[in-house]
Amino acid sequence: MTIVGRQYGGRAVVERKAERRLRFLAAATRIFAERGYAACSLADVCAAAGLSKRQFYEEFRTREDVLVAAYDRVQDEAVAAIYTALTRLEPGPDLRTTLIELFAAFLSSMGSDPHRAKLAFVEVVGVSERMERHRRERRRAWGAVLETIVLPAIAPNCRLRGGTIWATSAFIGVTNGLAYEWLVADPHPPIEELVNLLVPVALTLIEFS
């Protein structure tokens, strides 16, 4: 019997493996945000997850690997939230109304866990050359999402001002900076205040053909 079909405690091994990986990612997100990535050891991650180093090495090679994976999880779920918001849009709303819905979806995803913003916007910065390359790759991926999926869906006769790379960098920089300040504020200002700042910025980066 292969590992795919093997059962342990009534559950497939692959299911238990996926659950264990998720526990490591959730634990890493929390303790890296609370204590700072540089101050956390691999043993700290394992203790926070309630799992062993042996189990860690079955999923990751290094502490930085789990940071990358946790960061990707936050980013992937934010992208998924945008996709879901797009599918729920009623036909015919104006561009400003649509942008409000998309920003609300993004911020709801980032704000669903108080540690996500700290991890995604602070703890991954300056960790290593590898992490910086990966962050740039993720920014480019967001650019592709904006240019090939979001913009055609909400404004098919438009394009990004200055080209994808420059417009995306400006857009992501403003969005991430404001989103982080909003998420760490105590108490949070109403989400509408943040959206009302972000929507005009986004509109300036959209050119109508």
Please give the residue that has the higher pLDDT: either 56 or 98.
Answer: 56
Q: Is residue 175 one of the residues assigned to a domain?
A: yes
The domain of 104 spans 63-208
Which residues make beta-bridge pairs with 158? Answer: 208
Q: Is residue 154 one of the residues assigned to a domain?
A: yes
Q: Is residue 53 one of the residues assigned to a domain?
A: no
The domain tally of the chain equals: 1
Q: Is residue 50 one of the residues assigned to a domain?
A: no
C-alpha span between 199 and 177 (Å, rounded): 14
CB atoms within 10 A of CB 109: 21
Q: Is residue 48 one of the residues assigned to a domain?
A: no
SS3 12: strand
pTM of the predicted protein model: 0.86
Is pLDDT above 50 for 4? no
Q: Is residue 101 one of the residues assigned to a domain?
A: yes
Please give the residue that has the higher pLDDT: either 140 or 11.
Answer: 140
C-alpha span between 127 and 169 (Å, rounded): 20
The domain that contains 130 carries what CATH number? 1.10.357.10
